[in-house]
Amino acid sequence: MKKKTYFKILIILILILGVRFLMSLKDFNRDLVNHMVWTESMFKEGLKGFYSRDYSPWALANYPPLANFLFLFSHKLYLWLNINWQGNNLLASFYKLPLLIADVIIAFCLFAIGKDSGNNKKGVLFALFFLVNLALAYNSVFWGQLESLLTMFCLLSLIFFYKKSKIFAFLFYALALLTKQSALFFLPIFLILVIKKTSLKEKIFGFSLMYFLTVFLFSFFIRKNYFISPFLFYFKTIGGQLHQYLASVNAFNFWFFLGLNKSTDIQIFLSLTYRLWSIILTGFFLTPVLILFYFKSGFKRCLFATMLLSFAVFVFLTRMHERHLYSMFIFLIPFIDSFKKFLIYAAISVIHFLNLYLVWQEFLAEPSVKIVTIGRFLSLFTIIIFAYYYLSYFIKVSKKQL
């Protein structure tokens, strides 16, 4: 692209960022108060011992170091600007700022993916499908969850596996892991790309970079065992908070459809816990997808396989939150190439928005029979849409369209 084109795109993205920041002032979810409480603790007591403190009645600090540094930086930026504003809405918007920046970077990546197919209009449409999606905006602009940041790093990692500078693929995936544990769901795709796309030298250097970057960032927050504590942290926190060991943590998925949304996932069915059944089901659906991707790892198949991985994890794994469907949309957008596919995309977007809305308004805290019925109905549609995309993958592969 010409320099003028890059400049125009930059101006548009800055305007989008500004508009989204202003929109974000309207409201924020109380989950952000957790982040504010953690940050206040970092200001008062320092970083060392951060993960061992009692934050009652707020949630335990269980986000990896990069997320905490971003909270700290956002708060310091707010204080440095010294803006006189009543209430916490503006402060909350500064906490959302990294997510809003991630939004515009994702939009640019989607534009570039569409443009690389030889069609500028397609690139613009892909960016618009993302930016005007109310469910996706709801997550970062209003709620303030980290899914957009996590997804941005994972998307950039995948993109750089298909570029010359593959070391950035390792770097961005490391940053994703250091932002949120759910980046581990993308590990199968990442490992296949490492095997297929990198030399031995790149593998050694890339994994060394990931390891030492992780140790370095964790070293600010822990007091000892610097080289093994990061692994213990992920092992301990990957399942989420203890009180959320449920078959479905408000996610409209397979387990909600079965009416097990308030059931713990350690309950037994046919000699196995729901948790083990969920892993088996997820593995059952994903194994053939990953095998086909391993033998032909082109970029389009990579995006589709990653989309299915995100979707299957949301639908079949236990302990899923409503927001965990977010990443699927980003990897799905490049495949919206007909009006029918746009309608299906719109349908799953509406379902996702309703899921987010009902959780935020606490209708699912003690749900009525009516709300549960609506949730089961939407869960069924989510499963049907997953089945549609799952079958589409194998049809596209058989027709050599991926």
Give the range with max mean pLDDT: 76-85, 110-119, 190-199: 190-199
In this predicted structure, what is the pLDDT of residue 261? Answer: 86
pLDDT in tens, 257-285: 999 988 999 999 999 999 999 999 999 99
Average pLDDT for 164-174: 95
Greater pLDDT, 6 or 157: 157
Distances (CA, A) of 266 to 100, 226, 232: 37, 32, 22
pLDDT tens digit sequence for 312-348: 999 999 999 999 999 999 999 999 999 999 999 999 9
Asked whether the predicted pLDDT for residue 2 surpasses 90, the reply is no
Quote the mean pLDDT of the chain.
93
Chain segment 30-50, per-residue pLDDT in tens: 889 999 999 999 999 999 999
**Which band of pLDDT confidence, cut at 50, 70 and 90, is reported for residue 353?**
very high
pLDDT value at position 26? 86
User: Which of these, 160, 13, 32, lies nearest to 101 by C-alpha position?
Assistant: 13
Residue 76 has pLDDT above 90, yes or no: yes
Least confident of 178-182, 244-248, 306-310, 386-390: 244-248
pLDDT-based confidence at residue 83 (cuts at 50, 70, 90): confident
Q: What is the per-residue pLDDT for 59?
A: 87
pTM, entire model: 0.94
Residue 3, pLDDT score:
65
Residue 1: is its pLDDT beyond 60?
no
Query: What pLDDT score does 10 carry?
Result: 79
Longest dimension (CA), the chain: 64
pLDDT value at 86 more than 70: no
Identity of the highest mean pLDDT range in 21-25, 162-166, 168-172: 168-172
